[in-house]
Amino acid sequence: MSPNVGKAAGGASTQVLLAGVLLAGFLSVPMWADKGVIFLASVALVQIVFALSFNVIFGLSGMVSFGHAAYFASGAYACGLLLREPGVSVFTGLVAGGLAGGALAAVIGLVALRRASGNYFAILTLAFAEMLHILIAKTPWFGREDGLTGIKRPVIAGSMDLAQGDGIFYFTLAVASVLMAGAWVLWHCGFGHRLAAIRQEPDRAAFLGVDVHRARLVAFTLSGVGAGFAGAMYAPLAQLLTPEVAHWSFSALPILFCLLGGTAIFWGPVAGVLVFLGLEHSTRNIIGLSEVVIGSTLLVVVLVFPGGLAGGMLRLRQMWRRQPASSGAVQGGQT
């Protein structure tokens, strides 16, 4: 058989298995981990949603944006401001966050995508994000550089108190699962296939009748919605928002997660987040060395596996499968 990236990563049973292992892994965290690790796992879930939303435009549609923190931050502040008020449902906050991220992405996308040339688009998205960063840092309503405090963890449906025990963790896990499922559908549906087609040959896609400009704008907006949701998940979790979440270095995170995990496969950024945060956590006590370890890991992955961790795994699997085929006689029992 020829190498076939799409199919090799796309077997339905493999997908369900991966999702099941991931869910079980996260569900088990409160059983063995301390408060710090449970909080870290919640942050990982937020970052997974953030990274997956970014990969909709980066890995799927082939657009490079340097300012994805802007949509995260707008979602986080929208949700955070609402949750400071008494009696506001956390779901209202979530929806507001998603809408805020999507609305900002739609506006910026409308301006930046008018000239779709790659570098111009990337720099423009960065410029808009930096503007938002300054706006937040200077506006009293947003808490300026000191941050937005007093964000409450409300009670859901009168019974589940997010402020008690591991409530916020389970809530974050549930929301992340729904959003991941949504991202998975987007990645594998007809519209997702057209985005992948646009990434590979935009002119061919256009002459299949696809409105390339509109599809890119929709993808960019949906990506903003996802980042907005990630921000909205983060607000009640952290309970403190600083302009840092709109800073360019925060935009760099999903790029790192995607490059580390691999952009060509849906699950790549998930692996990127887990490995990155795992490394960061396990090297946190070695002051100054943490960055060195993470930096050199990234360097090795990019040099050895240009397709990221997920791409590397696929390649290993293909080499594994090709071996019995090349040895000829023993391939009878291959499944």
Residues forming the site for another protein (CB under 8 A): 1-7, 185-186, 188-191, 193-194, 196-197, 200-201, 203-212, 264
Minimum distance of another protein from residue 103's CB (angstroms): 21
The closest alpha carbon to 11, from 271, 196, 266, belongs to 266
Q: How far apart are CB 302 and another protein at their closest, in Å? A: 20
Kindly tell me which of 91 and 207 has the beta carbon lying closer to another protein.
207
Specify the residue, 79 or 264, whose C-beta has the smaller distance to another protein.
Answer: 264
Q: Select 4 or 149, whichever has its Cβ closest to another protein.
A: 4
Q: For another protein, which is the closer residue by CB, 140 or 190?
A: 190
Tokens of 310: 């997920």
Smaller CB distance to another protein: residue 194 or 247?
A: 194
- State the minimum distance, in angstroms, from the CB of residue 186 to another protein: 8
Between 1 and 64, name the residue whose CB sits nearer to another protein.
Answer: 1
Encoded amino acid at 164, one letter: Q
Q: How far is the CB of 222 from another protein (least distance, A)?
A: 11
Identity of the residue, 1 or 27, whose beta carbon is nearer to another protein in the bound complex: 1
* CB of residue 216 to another protein, shortest distance in Å: 12
